[in-house]
Chains A and B, each alone.
Chain A
Amino acid sequence: MRVTVVERVPAEEMRIEGLTGDAAIAHALKQCDIDVLAAYPITPQTIIVEDFQKFAANGEVQTKVIPVESEHSAMSACVGASAAGARVATATASAGLALMWEILYCAASLRLPIVLTIANRALSAPINIHNDWSDSYGARDSGFIQLYCQSSQEAYDTTIMAFKLAEDHRVLLPVMVCIDGFILSHNVERVEMLPDEAVRNFLGVRDPVLPLDPDNPITMGPLALTDYYFEIKEGQDRAMDAVPEVYKEVEAAFEKMTGRSYGMFEKYRTDDAEIIILTHSTPAGTAKAVVDVLREKGEKVGVLRLKMFRPFPAAEVAEAIKHAKAVAVFEKCRSFGAVCNPLALEVRAALYDLKERPMVTDFVIGLGGRDVPPTTIVEGYEKTKEYLAKGKAPLYETLGVRK
């Protein structure tokens, strides 16, 4: 199966609206013509499901909306519907994602192309509604593809592309589309939306490989012990390996239609950079603004904004950062007891086989929505310069916290 050929949509056919990150996702889901949405409300993804329910109530979509009683049931309903061949989506955050845990692995292992949109939010306790990445980072080994967005526009675009990627027969894996809770989920900005028809043509109708069919009953996910379980995991691993190639094709087609593409990561002023800031989601935007100011002062600094965290594009990232003297990782998660934190672990592993590697610093920022102002990024940058001069850096440290 190859990606559909599409034409450039003329500017006058695009609809411009002011949308929050959540609303942008809701509009994308509407245009993706999903068959089933099963969800349980949780802040800050709330607007996604609220807006979608409005579309359903107004008859603007044909989707079966299932208001389930928990996130465990939400993902279970998605699994059932997707197994029957439907195009399926849900949305969650924080504790909701935690409650889905068991079924996340089922969705991935059954190779069901479900799109799960997440407004990233801290985990309890104490209860906190604000943003960090502990929820989806925790699910990084579940077998979901993970894509992180910086803007409402990107959230809209990525949600559409996610179905195309997930449903490709070379992939057949579920996708998490992640936005920063409140910072993006509740931030209104300018979003350019495609005509419905263009999205329909781009995605086509899902072509399920082996759907549930009452006339032709099959069993999915039955027992596989020492005999076949490992082979199933091997197959899942190969599907994950196929993601970058398919993702590039999907993006190329999307770019042809819209003029926009993002890549597995974005390089911002990194070519001659001596220090590269590596992060994703909204802190990457703030980091770009910081880099612009530092560049004016003659500092050689750039940003690598990661978009795809699963699969982690290790070889490509290593190639993009290997010339730097240091890579300063900023991440909104602490992996308690770990050597460093999830993003820096990937970056350090990606660089390990190089003969000459940049120094890697790892800054834990913004837990529980603690604001990440430009000064926090500058502080990490200055510390990295200091460690470079000393020739030694700590494995990780926290920034912006009372100590």
Chain B
Amino acid sequence: MPVIEVRWHGRGGQGGVTSAELLAKAAYYDGYKGVQAFPYFGAERRGAPVKAFTRISDKEINVRSQIYDPDVVAVLDASILDLIDVTEGLKPNGKVIVNTPKKPSEISVKRGHVYTYDGTGIALRYGLMVAGLPVVNTTMLGAFAKATGLVRLETVQKVIKEKWPGPVGERNAEGAREAYETCTD
């Protein structure tokens, strides 16, 4: 198995870095030997477009650079699609997962196979809020499990509940389940 590379696009404060980390944890629980999750820290602040990265492999991963040719791109905030080409470098059969109430056919990107799910709607329904704003990073993990089949939904729910023990984790895990069930291409 080649190294699978994932690039996360979000806005500062949306939890993209946490998503990248939780996916890495889910991946090693699911038996992958090599996992990496790392942020890119620029001069960004809350609300600005940010990036994070995850690598997954069944072998130890040696490469330590940023990711330029991802297999999967996860977009936590659809408004970023108007600002940058999130699919830059995406492999020819790569996947783009977007948090949006729109259908995949309504999303225009330069390349890649598009999946959508309404993460913000789910976050509002399940009360996944921080500082009064919906947080979609855990729902994206459910959508990711569905779109890629690389990690299991149960494992994603497990890492979410470990990260936030108690009712908060339960609600986030339920949100991830609904994202898994509703994510479509």
Contact A187 B65 (CB under 8 A): no
Partner of B41, one of A129, A150, A188: A129
Kindly supply a per-residue 1/0 record for chain A positions 107-149, scoring 1 wherever the CB is within 8 Å of any chain B CB and 0 otherwise.
0000000000000000000000110000000000000000000
Which residues B14-51 have CB closer than 8 A to chain A? 20-21, 24-25, 28, 33-39, 41
Kindly supply a per-residue 1/0 record for chain A positions 182-197, scoring 1 wherever the CB is within 8 Å of any chain B CB and 0 otherwise.
1110111110000000
| Total contacting residues, chain A, CB less than 8 A | 25
Contact B21 A374 (CB under 8 A): no
Contacts of A188 in B (CB 8 A): 20-21, 24-25, 35-38
Contact B63 A374 (CB under 8 A): yes
B19 to chain A, nearest CB (A): 11
Contact B41 A190 (CB under 8 A): no
B9 to chain A, nearest CB (A): 17
Tell me whether A289 is interfacial, beta carbon within 8 Å: yes
Contact A286 B38 (CB under 8 A): no
Tell me whether A398 is interfacial, beta carbon within 8 Å: no
Contact A187 B63 (CB under 8 A): no
Tell me whether B66 is interfacial, beta carbon within 8 Å: yes
Tell me whether A358 is interfacial, beta carbon within 8 Å: no
Partner of A18, one of B25, B39, B66: B25
Contacts of B61 in A (CB 8 A): 189, 285
Which residues B52-66 have CB closer than 8 A to chain A? 61-66
Contacts of B36 in A (CB 8 A): 187-189
Contact A286 B35 (CB under 8 A): no
Contact A288 B62 (CB under 8 A): yes
Roughly how many angstroms separate A288 CA and B36 CA in the complex, as a whole number? 16
Partner of A371, one of B20, B62, B66: B66
- Closest Cβ neighbor of A43 among chain B residues: B41
Q: Which of A182, A188, A282 has the most CB of B within 10 A?
A: A188
Tell me whether A320 is interfacial, beta carbon within 8 Å: no
| Total contacting residues, chain B, CB less than 8 A | 20
Which residues A2-48 have CB closer than 8 A to chain B? 16, 18
- Closest Cβ neighbor of A130 among chain B residues: B41
Roughly how many angstroms separate A129 CA and B21 CA in the complex, as a whole number? 21
Q: Given known contacts A188-B25, A190-B28, is B62 in contact with A286 (CB within 8 Å)?
A: yes
Contact A190 B33 (CB under 8 A): yes
Contact B65 A372 (CB under 8 A): yes
Contact A189 B62 (CB under 8 A): no
Roughly how many angstroms separate A138 CA and B39 CA in the complex, as a whole number? 27
Contacts of B34 in A (CB 8 A): 189-190
Tell me whether B164 is interfacial, beta carbon within 8 Å: no
Contact B65 A18 (CB under 8 A): no
A211 to chain B, nearest CB (A): 41
Roughly how many angstroms separate A286 CA and B55 CA in the complex, as a whole number? 13
Tell me whether A283 is interfacial, beta carbon within 8 Å: yes
Q: Which of A183, A189, A292, A374 has the most CB of B within 10 A?
A: A189
Tell me whether A373 is interfacial, beta carbon within 8 Å: yes
Contact B41 A18 (CB under 8 A): no
Contact A374 B65 (CB under 8 A): yes
Contact A190 B62 (CB under 8 A): no
Q: Given known contacts A16-B28, A18-B24, A373-B68, is B62 in contact with A187 (CB within 8 Å)?
A: no
Contact B28 A186 (CB under 8 A): no
Residues of A within 8 A of B (CB): 16, 18, 129-130, 150, 180, 182-184, 186-190, 282-283, 285-286, 288-289, 292, 371-374
Closest 5 CB pairs of A and B: A282-B64, A187-B38, A289-B63, A285-B62, A373-B65
Residues of B within 8 A of A (CB): 20-21, 24-25, 28, 33-39, 41, 61-66, 68
25 contacts between A and B (CB under 8 A): A16-B28, A18-B24, A18-B37, A130-B41, A150-B64, A180-B64, A182-B41, A187-B36, A187-B64, A188-B20, A188-B21, A189-B34, A189-B37, A189-B61, A190-B34, A190-B35, A282-B64, A285-B63, A286-B64, A288-B62, A371-B65, A371-B66, A373-B66, A373-B68, A374-B65
